[in-house]
Amino acid sequence: MNAFEPDFIIIGSGPAGVSAAVPLVAAGRRVLMLDGAFGMAETVQGARWERTLGSHLQSLRPDDGTSPKLQAPLARDLINGFLDASAIRGDNFVAVGSLGRGGLSQVWGGQLSLLDEEDLDGWPIRHADLAPSYRAVMARIGVSTTGGGPEAETAALPAGAIASRILARHRRYGLVADFTLWPALNAVLAHPVDGRHGCDLRGDCLFGCERGAIYSSVHDLPLLQKSPHFALTEGARVTELKPHQEFGWAVTTADGREFRAPRVLLAAGVLGSAALLSHLVTFPAEGLRLLNSPTLALPLIAPERLFRRATATHSLAQLGFALRYGHARLDYLTGGFYEVNTLPASSFINRMPTGRRGGRALFDLLSSSLAVATAYFPGDESRTFLHLNRTSEGGGITVRGGFADGLEERAKVILGRLAGHWRRLGLFRLPGAAIATPGTDAHFAGTFPMGGWGNLSTSDLGELSGFPGLHLVDGSILPTLPSKYITLTVMANADRIGRQLSNT
Amino acid sequence: MARLLITGSTGYIGGELVALARAEGHDVVELGRAAGWRIGAPVPAGMFDGVDAVIHLAHSWAVEDGAPEAANPNIEGAVRLAEAAADAGVKRFVFASSTSSRPNALNVYGRTKFRIEEHLSRSTAAAGVRIARIGLVYGGPRTAMYGLMLKLAGLSPVLPMIGLSREVQPIHVEEVGKGLLTLALSDLQSGDPFILASAGKMTFGTWLRLLRRVQGRGGLIFLPVPIALALLACRMTAFVPLIPTVDPERVLGLAGAAPMESAASLTRLGLTIGDPETRLSAELHRDQGDTALAEASALLTYLTGRAEEASAERLAEALRREHLSPIGLSERIIKSPALIALYEPPATRQDHRLARALYLADLVREAEVDRVASHGFFYSLVTAAVDICLLPVRLILSGRYR
């Protein structure tokens, strides 16, 4: 690759980096992608115990209270590797990031939302600017819904029995003002495409999809690599970004290599990008604000499905829902509805006041009727700040998580209202609803907002104020964080920036 | 191959000796209660038939302090046994004595052993008698004095103790067994007692620290206790209900040990004495490995009715890594894992060691097959109902494995 002189260096091979690369490469611009890992983090093939416990038993550990997904081997490897290398610590915050190939898209939940004009209030772009990118990204990653409805033109996978019943009921009962329910839109294939298989509804998704049905940005890399304009360098964990008089930007890696290009696109994930920029910019005294979505989980039971045989479906969200709780534009919750029999039972049994064997038996009896709704608050309900540690403390960044004043009390009221809507649809609330530790949501944004004021803001192309040629293309630049699932928007926004930069 | 008659074969040394002798291909006759014999009683007819040597380990503790020698079955019984053996044509009689054997020993045990040695050497059997004075025996099953010391040393980092500066000569129970077998089987000159004890000496305090170290525990601080006070405390235990009575003999035995030169004996027997720390570390570590695996299998069997070896190994590794091993499950539970139902705390109690261990076992089980098949409606219903009914019992018993 000595002869390869890139026009753009993209740091990170996650969804944002890949989405920015695709239009650039398509336009014939030369792109060098730097990937912090060597190859894949861990294979999802192999014996089942290796997939679920990890080849070095890294997931055979006590329940740490985070989601079962984050405790799966793949996530443990990715996140621990990231935390070790980037010196990021969480304080009342589960710092979620990845240096592995494909970033966090290897362990994501696959849920998709599209922001509408109202959600984009305060952004320097309009919905029309994002719409073509939304379409392009969705066509590339492959999407499906759980059953017909408004997205009937999209491929569909069968929903679980609880979900399809309550969705039918919701439609029959007609509209209510503050609550909406729809078939989930997921980045999972119903039919084979380009070497990826369609979902076989085995419901073992948490441990990585062996069939490649769930989208990961890893799937796009072979296609990109077919282009002579694209090169991927692995094991290139970036430690420093420096303006370079002659070339524009110089990027140094942990193993001492240096890469240069006129423009650098930073797509290392919100925490990873902030860690890299901490050497270049000064964080405010009160810390750098990070938007994240406080998250609730609400266990539910559908008595009508008690003691029935569970239906085969994937472990991803079955339904999407939204609950409006205030008058401001973003004052609504977005959530996903999951069928519990597709999830590992052990962490549910931890919440049962029975013994373990009895708990397992009880779970076997009840699981076909159990569901869980997870809901996200918008980012303005979080109070999370990034602080630079002093060198005497070993350097690095501490992320201090927190909630807006009174959120916990308000959440109780909102949970009650949400439970009321489920009850109307035939689902009853079980004990154990809780707000998760900040960070487990992994919906991060807003550290370097597009169109913001001051020196830590970025242009509508993600270009960092005062540093021409340095663009952020990941979640860092979303100026607001609606409660919706944000990955698709991060990808569409990166695609939009890629398209515009391909003309420069 | 020889035929050996062994008394005290169910004891700490006896058990190991019998196993060793049989492993070497010898024929072993066990003389004890099962054969209708107790020390002091005449030997049942025909027991000596074809026997090449007797190894006499049995010792009766049920002898009053200060009882006249004639009334002491240990003395009387040993002489009788030796003479009967000699009369029946048995060539050698090995007597297990102790390094505490001396005329003025502090404890009755030491004095009694000395008296037996004297009587044997004056008996009609004297020509075939070999005396083995055995040092501080360790290793093998965790019973007898060894088991007690191991437990005490592992118990707490602060230990009130007597006789700390006394020198001890530890010898592994297997080395004792080898020595006794050599004495019984080879044509060594009898005469002076053989000393079965390490040639090197260490203080009793150092020994206890070693016993703590090999169990993977930290340092040990001693609170030296005067002997008078320890004896008083022992006598008090007889009057306090609900605590075990401690025999003052044990205290006096600890306080009264005095080293003996063993190098010459060991050379004559061709016996090499291994380093106790190395031997014990290897032995206890292997034991712990076995325990972890046995406990892992029990947990899996409790949850699923079976335990595949690979799964049990994975679980054992995780239990060790999470410092949950050993959980300390009793032998009975390991044999009948269903009993865990009585001790298991609610699954919500993830601060409880047994609950955490069972969570890990559940993860291992979940990883075994693609989709864990459920057992069917009635099985689940009964299991869940039994579980809920047992809840009160468990709330009381679960404290045991916290």
* DSSP states of A207-229: G--TT--B--GGGGHHHHHTSTT
Which run of H or E residues covers position A318? none
Range of the domain at B323: 282-340+347-373
Interchain CB contact of A61 with B (< 8 Å): yes
The pLDDT assigned to B44 comes to 86
- Which of B220, B246, B274 is the C-terminal boundary of a domain? B274
Contact A365 B377 (CB under 8 A): yes
Q: Are residues B184 and B261 in the same domain?
A: yes
Map tokens 């230990």 to a residue. Answer: B159
The predicted pLDDT at position B374 comes to: 62
Check: CB of residue A187 under 8 Å from CB of residue A142. Answer: yes
Residue B389 domain flag: no
Please tell me whether residues B229 and B368 are part of one structural domain.
Answer: no
Question: Are B305 and B269 in the same domain?
Answer: no
* B310, B207: one domain: no
Q: Supply A291's token pair.
A: 């938007």
| Most B CBs within 10 Å, among A346, A362, A367, to test the B interface | A346
B347, A355 in Cβ contact below 8 A?
A: yes
Cβ contact (<8 Å) for A361 and B380? Answer: yes
Interface check for A56 against chain B (CB to CB < 8 A): the answer is: no
Q: Same domain for B270 and B297?
A: no
Most confident among B56-65, B241-250, B364-373 (mean pLDDT): B56-65
Same domain, B193 and B142: yes
- Cβ pair A267, A491 in contact under 8 A: no
Q: What are phi and psi of A297, to 5 degrees?
A: -125, 135
Rounded CA separation A428/B204 (Å): 67
Q: Which of A64, A364, A367, A370 to mutate to test the interface with B (most CBs of B within 10 A)?
A: A364
Q: How far is A63 from chain B (nearest CA, A)?
A: 8
Give the least confident one: A354-363, B18-27, B107-116, B212-221.
Answer: B212-221
A247-256, A460-469, B68-77: least confident range:
B68-77
Report residue B240 as tokens: 């306090």
- Top residue of B324, B359, B368 to mutate, by most chain A CBs within 10 Å, is B359
Tell me the C-alpha to C-alpha distance, in Å, between residue A394 and each of A89, A272, A279, B11, B159. 11, 17, 15, 60, 41
- B103 inside domain: yes
For residue A43, give how far its alpha carbon lies from the nearest alpha carbon of chain B (Å): 16
Residue A194 lies in a domain: no
CB A472 within 8 A of CB A458: yes
For chain B, what is the domain count? 2
Task: Please tell me the predicted confidence (pLDDT) of residue A136.
Answer: 96
pTM for this model (two decimals)? 0.70
Residue A149 confidence (pLDDT): 52
Whether A150 shows a pLDDT value over 70: the answer reads: no
CA distance B362 to chain A (A): 6
User: In chain A, what is the straight-line distance between the N-terminal and C-terminal CA atoms, in Å?
Assistant: 24
The distance in angstroms from the start CA to the end CA of chain B is: 52
Strand A332-339 and strand A370-376: the pairing is: antiparallel
Q: In the predicted model, what is the mean pLDDT of chain A? A: 90
Which helix (H) or strand (E) segment holds residue A75: the answer is helix A73-86
Q: Which of B232, B251, B274 is the C-terminal boundary of a domain?
A: B274
- Domain membership flag for residue A106: yes
Task: Give B238: exposed, middle or buried? Use CB within 10 Å, 0-12, 13-18, 19+.
Answer: exposed
Q: What would the mean pLDDT of B117-137 be, rounded to a whole number?
A: 92
Query: Does the structure show a pLDDT above 80 at B337?
Result: yes
Cβ atoms A156, A147 nearer than 8 A: yes
Give the mean model confidence (pLDDT) for residues A267-293: 94
Peptide bond into B141 cis (omega under 30): no
For the domain that residue A21 is a member of, what is the CATH number? 3.50.50.60
Among residues A399, A377, A365, the alpha carbon closest in space to that of A322 is found at A377
Please tell me whether residues B215 and B306 are part of one structural domain.
Answer: no
**Alpha carbon separation from A236 to A105, A241, A275, A310 (Å, rounded):** 19, 13, 16, 46
Q: What is the pLDDT of residues B287-303, one digit of tens each?
A: 777 888 999 999 999 99
Return mean pLDDT, chain B. 86
CB contact under 8 A, B362 and A360: yes
> Could you tell me if residue A201 is inside a domain?
no
Q: Is the pLDDT of residue B198 over 70?
A: yes
Q: Which domain holds residue A89?
A: 1-112+214-286+444-504
The C-alpha atoms of residue A55 and residue A39 are separated, in whole angstroms, by 16
> Is B145 a domain residue?
yes
Span A485-495, average pLDDT: 97
DSSP conformational letter for A463: B
Q: Nearest CA to A186 among A229, A239, A146, A151?
A: A146
CA–CA separation, A231 vs A25, rounded Å?
A: 10
Percentage with pLDDT > 70 across chain A: 97
For B87, other C-beta atoms within 10 Å of its C-beta total: 11
Using the CB atoms, write b or e for A326-355: b if 16+ within 10 Å. eeebbebbbbbbbbbbbbbbbbbbbbbebb
Residue of A nearest to B367 (CA): A49
Looking at the fold, whether B239 and B289 belong to one and the same domain comes out as: no
Contact A60 B364 (CB under 8 A): yes
Residue B381 lies in a domain: no
- Quote the tokens at residue A1: 């690759």
Q: Is the pLDDT of residue A148 over 70?
A: no
Q: What does the pLDDT average to over A207-225? A: 91
Kindly state the tokens that stand for B152: 């005490």
For the segment B167-179, the average pLDDT, to the nearest whole number, is: 93
CB neighbour list of residue B136: distance below 8 Å, 6 or more residues apart = B99, B145, B168, B169, B170, B171, B197, B207, B257
A159: DSSP letter? P
Q: Is residue B386 part of a domain?
A: no
Determine phi and psi for B306, rounding to 5 degrees.
Answer: -155, 165
Name the pLDDT band for A1 (thresholds 50, 70, 90): very low
Give me the number of domains chain A comprises.
1
Q: Is residue A312 part of a domain?
A: no
Taking the C-alpha atoms of residue B298 and residue B288, their distance in angstroms, rounded to an integer, is 15
Q: Same domain, yes or no, for B305 and B229? A: no
Contacts of B113 (CB under 8 A, 6+ apart): B97, B98, B100, B101, B105
Q: Which helix (H) or strand (E) holds B224?
A: strand B221-224
Q: Which residue has the tokens 């569901």?
A: A371
The answer to whether residue A48 sits within a structural domain is yes
| Euclidean distance between CA atoms A121 and A127, whole angstroms | 10
User: To the nearest whole angstrom, how far is the Cα of A305 from the nearest Cα of chain B?
Assistant: 14
Q: What is the CA radius of gyration of chain A?
A: 22
Per the CB < 8 A criterion, the answer to whether A41 and A78 are in contact is yes
Nearest CA among B36, B32, B87 for reference residue B59: B32
Any domain includes A404 = no
* Residue B122 φ/ψ, nearest 5 degrees: -100, 0
- Residue A116 in 3-state DSSP? coil
Domain-embedded: residue B382: no
Sign of CA dihedral B142, B146, B147, B149: negative
Q: Is the pLDDT of residue A493 over 50?
A: yes
Q: What is the spatial distance between Cα B225 and Cα A341, in angstroms, rounded to a whole number?
A: 63
State mean pLDDT over B124-132: 92
Give the confidence band of A453 by pLDDT, cuts at 50, 70, 90: confident
B399 within some domain? no
Q: How far off is chain B from A88, nearest CA to CA, in Å? A: 25
On whether residue A119 sits in a domain, the answer given is no
Q: Is B289 in the same domain as B218?
A: no
- Do B322 and B218 lie in one domain? The reply is no
Domain contains A67? yes
Q: What is the CATH number of the domain that holds B167?
A: 3.40.50.720
Does residue A52 belong to the interface with chain B, where contact is any CB pair within 8 Å? yes
Give domain status of residue B99, yes or no: yes
B178 and B73 co-located in one domain: yes
CB contact under 8 A, B322 and A61: yes
